[in-house]
Amino acid sequence: MNQRIVLMAPAILLMLTLRTCFAVELQVATFKVDVTPPIGSPLCDALVPPAKEINDPLSARGIVLQADDETPVVLVAVDWVGIGNEGHDAWRDAIAAACNTSRDRVCVHALHQHDAPGCDFLADRIAAEAGLSGEEFDVEFARDAIRRAAEAAGEAVKSLEPVTHVGFGKGRVEKVASNRRILGPDGKVQYGRMTATRDPKIRSFPEGTIDPFVRLVSFWNDERPIAVLSYYATHPQSYYGKGSVSADYVGMARDQREAEEGARLHIHFNGAGGNIGAGKYNDGSPENRPILAGRLADGMKTAWEATEKLPVEDLEFDWATRDVQLPLTERYDESDRITALHDASLPIAQRVRAARDIAWARRTQEGHAITVSRLRLGPIDILHLPGELFVEYQLAAQKLRPESFVCVAAYGDYGPGYIGTYEAYAQGGYETGEVSRVSPRVEVVLTGAIQELLE
């Protein structure tokens, strides 16, 4: 801990954007666009077969918040596997321009369904050097989706309506989430309990470290709900890789609750679910998808019924950001990655992954910073964080401000990939031992920013 405190100060950039007001007037608008990819499009960054059918549509859903004369804050959740690097910049820039606000007041998060596309324009340009443009995702479709989402957000700003109350509540979700990393006697990862775990021995281990609660934040005009935001930490797959585009069980649960709540829009955000999945309760059978959806929907219903509503005039509206530079993994070897990118004997997925590794490394080496942010609405704190974040960050944030209702949206900028804790990197395993693009020092950097945002 002493080492972390010493490292914290130089690790965090000092730029802070902070605007505070008492929300005498809070207005809200919602928007939703279809972002289902065309048949034949790559899915999950080319790690699974391309789209051959649409099981259910994908959407980008957003909310525009405006307090008094502040420029708007826009929060967006997209049914894609990940939006990283210049893809993330493009989404935020387009929406910011449409809503007459700044990039640092726009948050875009993926839900991380695997039967869904990704988006990283820098990685695609790097892949193009090896003749692989368009192999990771459908570039023209992605640009069109961004354009349509921005247009919808711009139109929404014209239809802002007053918010009289903000609500919040939480509900326990039973038999969905479990920790993916099962440690052996030596403290190393012995088993990876992934999305679909067929081995009953591995499923039989305890749930492990999770956040069992789904949290809801709602916006009301008197007795009428306008929008509902939900937050739950888990990998959102029941099964995938058959070419069937789907928002999976989190999308099913979201849509079910939207119909029952009567709000204009329900927007779901994936929390810090990088090391969390349904593996303990899921063997990959298609029949499990509606079962998992029902369990998550039940938790959302409990949270809805437990909602406490507070008058807006009694609430502080506060938006704060930190720009942080996440440290590049020590394992990165650019010559190795370039060789892999151009090696025609390797599967396309491995070559595309090399392009994504190079993209993140180059951004990091150029000093690129990621914006993390916090929205405060009275006792409610909503954190917006990057990557496939481990659940320990979410639990730590809640402990940092126990008097507050802390919600976490992860899977913002997807560039860094998995973001583990310092200890997790020594434990090995798929997430931190093989594919994470950041070093163990990331915990010091990110925890320091979270601490300052939650002060």
Give the position of tokens 């481990």. Answer: 390
pLDDT at 12: 37
Q: What is the rounded average pLDDT of the residues 354-382? A: 98
Give the position of tokens 């130089």. Answer: 10
Q: Which two tokens stand for residue 373?
A: 């942010």
Per-residue pLDDT tens digits for 384-394? 999 999 999 99
- Report how far residue 137's alpha carbon sits from residue 94's, in angstroms, rounded to the nearest whole number: 19
Mean per-residue pLDDT of the chain: 94
Query: What ranges make up the beta strands (E) of 40-194?
Result: 53-54, 59-67, 73-78, 82-83, 106-110, 118-119, 161-163, 165-172, 178-179, 181-183, 189-192
Per-residue pLDDT tens digits for 237-247? 999 999 999 99
CB 35 within 8 A of CB 76: no
More confident position, 23 or 296: 296
Q: What is the rounded average pLDDT of the residues 428-454? A: 98
The edge-to-edge listing of strands for the beta sheet with 405-409 is 12-22, 316-324, 370-377, 380-384, 405-409
Q: What is the rounded average pLDDT of the residues 415-422? A: 98
- Report how far residue 328's alpha carbon sits from residue 440's, in angstroms, rounded to the nearest whole number: 9
Give the position of tokens 């894609």. Answer: 80
Nearest CA to 434 out of 302, 331, 340, 335 is that of 331
Q: What is the rounded average pLDDT of the residues 262-291? A: 97
pLDDT at 24: 58
Query: Cβ–Cβ contacts within 10 Å for residue 20, how many?
Result: 12
pLDDT at 222: 96
Nearest CA to 453 out of 324, 322, 325 is that of 322
Bridge partners (DSSP) of residue 166 are: 219, 310
Query: What ranges make up the beta strands (E) of 81-205?
Result: 82-83, 106-110, 118-119, 161-163, 165-172, 178-179, 181-183, 189-192
- Report how far residue 133's alpha carbon sits from residue 326's, in angstroms, rounded to the nearest whole number: 27
Please provide residue 372's backbone torsions phi and psi, each rounded to the nearest 5 degrees: -110, 150
- Report how far residue 35's alpha carbon sits from residue 64's, in angstroms, rounded to the nearest whole number: 19
Per DSSP, the three-state class of 455 is: coil
Please provide residue 161's backbone torsions phi and psi, each rounded to the nearest 5 degrees: -130, 155
Beta carbons within 8 Å of 170's beta carbon, 6+ residues apart: 213, 214, 215, 216, 303, 306, 405
Asked whether the predicted pLDDT for residue 11 surpasses 60, the reply is no
- Report how far residue 108's alpha carbon sits from residue 79's, in angstroms, rounded to the nearest whole number: 11
In terms of Cβ atoms closer than 10 Å to its own Cβ (0-12, 13-18, 19+), residue 116 is buried
69 pLDDT tier (thresholds 50, 70, 90): confident
- Report how far residue 205's alpha carbon sits from residue 183's, in angstroms, rounded to the nearest whole number: 10
Question: How many structural domains compose the chain?
Answer: 1
* First-to-last C-alpha distance (Å) of the chain: 19
Of the chain, the percentage scoring pLDDT greater than 90 comes to 93
233 pLDDT tier (thresholds 50, 70, 90): very high
Per-residue pLDDT tens digits for 97-137? 999 999 999 999 999 999 999 999 999 999 999 999 999 99
- Where would I find the H helices in 234-287? 248-261
Q: Which two tokens stand for residue 100?
A: 């007459």
pLDDT at 314: 86
Bridge partners (DSSP) of residue 17 are: 321
Query: Cβ–Cβ contacts within 10 Å for residue 154, how many?
Result: 17
- Report how far residue 251's alpha carbon sits from residue 236's, in angstroms, rounded to the nearest whole number: 9
Q: What is the largest CA-CA distance in the chain?
A: 63
pLDDT at 97: 98
Domain of 321, in residue numbers: 2-453
pLDDT at 161: 97
pLDDT at 372: 98
